[in-house]
């Protein structure tokens, strides 16, 4: 009777040991899958961050250009240019010559 009990205990221990090993393999596989997916998400986020940084730089350059244009449009030189070219105005004391051959 003792022999059967020992065999049963050995079989039970080997089965438990096998189950523990299977669980560990499964656990390690799940951990690696999660690490891979998180690394992939991190990689995508880094690429998105880089893209957004480039967009920010582009928009900053456009903003500087617009500010420069705004300052020019407020200047006397621009006002004079529009008055001469589009409105046909002249400064006091200037003489206008008109070419009639055209």
d(CA 63, CA 69): 10
pLDDT value, residue 84: 86
- Return the SS3 of 15: helix
- Residue closest to 39 by CA, chosen among 31, 51, 29, 28: 31
Cβ atoms of residues 79 and 86 within 8 Å: no
d(CA 14, CA 8): 10
pLDDT value, residue 64: 95
pTM exceeds 0.85, yes or no: no
d(CA 49, CA 56): 10
Tallying the residues shown for the chain, one arrives at 102
pLDDT band at 47 (very low <50, low <70, confident <90, very high): very high
Structure-token pair, residue 50? 């880089």
pLDDT higher than 60, residue 40: yes
């Amino acid at each position: 009777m003792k022999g059967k009990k020992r065999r049963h205990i050995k079989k039970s221990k080997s089965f438990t040991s096998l189950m523990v090993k299977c669980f560990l393999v499964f656990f390690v596989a799940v951990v690696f899958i999660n690490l891979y997916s998180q690394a992939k998400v991190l990689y995508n986020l880094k690429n998105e961050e880089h893209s957004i940084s480039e967009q920010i730089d582009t928009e900053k350059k456009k903003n500087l250009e617009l500010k420069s244009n705004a300052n020019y449009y407020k200047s006397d030189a621009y006002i004079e240019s529009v008055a001469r070219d589009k409105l046909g105005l002249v400064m006091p004391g200037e003489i206008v010559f008109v070419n009639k051959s055209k």
